[in-house]
C-alpha cells in the first residue's frame, strides 16, 4: 500500500511540475513497447458537474501518462495535445471508444471517487470540459482539488490501436 501511495504522489507531483519538455507519442510508445497499456492523469484545483458536463477549472497544462508493467514508462504531454489527439488512432480512438475514468475530488474535506465515461473534450484556455456519463457513484456538483484517472483504452500512444 505504501508503494501505491508514494507512486501516486510522485505521479501527481510530475503532473503539477512538468516542464516544457513533453513526450513525443512515437518515442514514448517505442520506449514502453508494443504491448504497453497506458493510463492518463489530469488534475485541476476545482471542478463542476451539471449531470452531463464535467468541467475542470484551471486545468493543469500537462497530462501525466504512464504505462503498466513491464515497461513502467512515465511522461508528460500538454493537455492541449491530449485533447487534440482524442480522435486519433489507426484502428480505434477515444472518439470511437470513449474511455472510463475515475474522478477523485475533495468534497467537504473528504476524498470522493466516481466512475465516469468521458467523451467530447473541449479545451478553452484553462477550462476543460467533457461530456460525462456516470457509471458508479454520485459526482459532486462542485468540488475542490480533483484528479481524473483516465483508462488508456485506444489512444494515439497505444500502438495496438
Domain enclosing residue 11, as ranges: 2-151
Whether 161 is in a domain gets the answer no
Contacts of range 20-24, beta carbons closer than 8 Å, 24 or more positions apart? 21/76, 22/62, 22/75, 22/76, 22/77, 22/78, 22/81, 23/65, 23/75, 23/76, 23/77, 23/157
pLDDT of residue 90: 62
Q: Is the pTM here over 0.85, yes or no? A: no
E strand or H helix at 30, and its extent?
Answer: helix 25-32
More confident residue, 75 or 15: 75
- Report pLDDT for 23: 53
Which pLDDT score is estimated for 11?
Answer: 44
In a domain, 127, yes or no: yes
Q: 144 CB contacts (<8 Å, ≥6 apart)? A: 45, 46, 105, 106, 107
pLDDT tens per residue, range 55-70 = 999 999 999 988 877 7
> Degrees (nearest 5) of the Cα angle 108, 111, 115?
120
Question: For the segment 14-61, what is each residue's pLDDT rounded down to a tens digit?
Answer: 444 443 455 565 565 666 566 667 899 999 999 999 999 999 999 999
Round to whole Å and give the CA distance between 85 and 160: 16
Count up the domains in the chain and report the number.
1
pLDDT in tens, 117-158: 999 999 999 999 999 999 999 999 999 999 999 998 767 666
**159 falls within a domain:** no
Amino acid at each position: 500500500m505504501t508503494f501505491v501511495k508514494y507512486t501516486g504522489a510522485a505521479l501527481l507531483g510530475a503532473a503539477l511540475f512538468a516542464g516544457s519538455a513533453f513526450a513525443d507519442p512515437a518515442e514514448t510508445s517505442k520506449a514502453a513497447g508494443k504491448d504497453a497499456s497506458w493510463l492518463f492523469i489530469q488534475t485541476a484545483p476545482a471542478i463542476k458537474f451539471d449531470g452531463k458536463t464535467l468541467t475542470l477549472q484551471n486545468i493543469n497544462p500537462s497530462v501525466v501518462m504512464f504505462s503498466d508493467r513491464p515497461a513502467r514508462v512515465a511522461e508528460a504531454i500538454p493537455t492541449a495535445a491530449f485533447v487534440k489527439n482524442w480522435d486519433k488512432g489507426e484502428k480505434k480512438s477515444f472518439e470511437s471508444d470513449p474511455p472510463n475514468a475515475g474522478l477523485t475530488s475533495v468534497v467537504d474535506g473528504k476524498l470522493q471517487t466516481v466512475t465516469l465515461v468521458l467523451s467530447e473534450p473541449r479545451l478553452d484556455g484553462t477550462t476543460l470540459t467533457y461530456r460525462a456519463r456516470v457509471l458508479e457513484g454520485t459526482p459532486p456538483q462542485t468540488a475542490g482539488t480533483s484528479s481524473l484517472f483516465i483508462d488508456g483504452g485506444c489512444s494515439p500512444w497505444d500502438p495496438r490501436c
